[in-house]
Amino acid sequence: MKNRILRANLLLLVVALIWGSTFVAQRLGTLHVGPFTFNAVRFFLGAAALFPLAWRTWKQHPPQSVGAAAPLPPLLWGSALAGLMLFAGINLQQIGLISTTAANAGFITGLYVVMVPMIGLLFGLRCGPGVWAGALLGVGGLYLMSVTEGFKLAPGDLWILAGAFAWAGHVLVIGWLSPKIRSFFLAFGQTLVCALLSLGVALAMEEIDAAGILAAAMPLLFSGIVTTGVAFTLQVIAQKDSPPAHAALIMQLETVFAALSGWLLLGETMTSRGLLGAALILTGMLIAQFWKGAATL
């Protein structure tokens, strides 16, 4: 059991590294195509990369119905639910990245680490005092990073914050579904649902430009194959052995990787006020991680 937990923690650390680096690719992608077009293409690429694995798993272990009382097998409704939460989180984030920095987006998105146990309370899932302490520090850090001296949030930061709530829901949904559905089924299913939803909105609201897609080829390939095809699959696999709150705490490290990648690749800088806010958010994460009894969810 300890080996499985250690493996899950290492996989989640890899997920955090990939996700943090992806903020740069997403920022670069917004220079050429609309947010929904970008996500439609990237998730179709991810679904294409996952299809052979899902198909092989299907042939070896065909999904079973959950019984006559259930109108749909868990694969279908599970993919739809996870894909819907993924669609909301990734597109709100992509819209926000148009008018905020990769570092800010990474840190604000990281607030889902305290949202997960908070939302869990609505379903009767307990959390310890460390989570509440971490939440207060996280909110203070968000204020310092994103609220201007005129006490106004930048529009991009508000979109990113809304996306953080969707990400919290996604972590909880994956934690609930991963023991019920085989990893490659769930990873492929949620990716395809997110791609279809993003394409529908893109067709309705954006002008899909082939030249823009070609110009964004490298960010799309990285986001589609590495982030979508690899990282989201690793998340599903890891959450079979890691409770949602624990998984969220480890994946919170994506905020560190987002700031580092924004600095190394985009030349983004943070003010002393922003650095203090980031330090508060990271301190809150560490308190929630190591305070005894901090997370039982």
- Concatenated DSSP letters of 156-213: HHHHHHHHHHHHHHHHHHHHHHTTTS-HHHHHHHHHHHHHHHHHHHHHHHS---HHHH
For residue 250, is it within any domain? yes
For residue 297, is it within any domain? no
For the chain, how many structural domains are there in total? 1
For residue 85, is it within any domain? yes
Q: What is the pLDDT of residue 67?
A: 43
For residue 169, is it within any domain? yes
Residue at 208: amino acid letter: I
User: What is the pLDDT tens value at each position of the chain, 297 positions in all?
Assistant: 667 777 887 888 898 888 877 777 777 787 899 889 999 999 999 999 999 988 988 888 776 544 434 345 677 888 899 999 999 998 898 788 778 776 677 677 777 877 887 787 777 666 667 767 777 787 777 777 666 655 566 778 889 889 999 999 999 999 888 888 888 888 999 999 999 999 999 999 998 889 999 999 999 999 899 988 898 889 888 888 877 777 777 777 777 777 777 677 667 666 787 778 778 877 876 776 677 554 445
Q: What is the pLDDT of residue 66?
A: 43
Domain residues for the domain of 123 are 2-60+72-290
For residue 65, is it within any domain? no
Give the global pTM.
0.81
Q: What is the pLDDT of residue 70?
A: 39
State CA 192 to chain mean position distance.
16
For residue 201, is it within any domain? yes
Letter string b/e over residues 180-215, b meaning 16 or more CB atoms within 10 A of that residue's CB:
ebbbbbbbbbbbbbbbebbbebbeeebeeeeebbeb
Nearest to 216 by CA among 41, 55, 2: 41
For residue 296, is it within any domain? no
Rounded Cα distance, 106 and 254, in Å: 7
Cross-strand bridge partners of residue 208: none
The label of the residue with tokens 């972590």 reads 171
Q: What is the pLDDT of residue 68?
A: 37
Q: What is the pLDDT of residue 86?
A: 93
Alpha helices in the chain (DSSP H): 2-29, 35-60, 74-96, 102-109, 112-121, 129-146, 155-177, 183-205, 210-215, 217-221, 232-238, 244-251, 254-266, 272-290
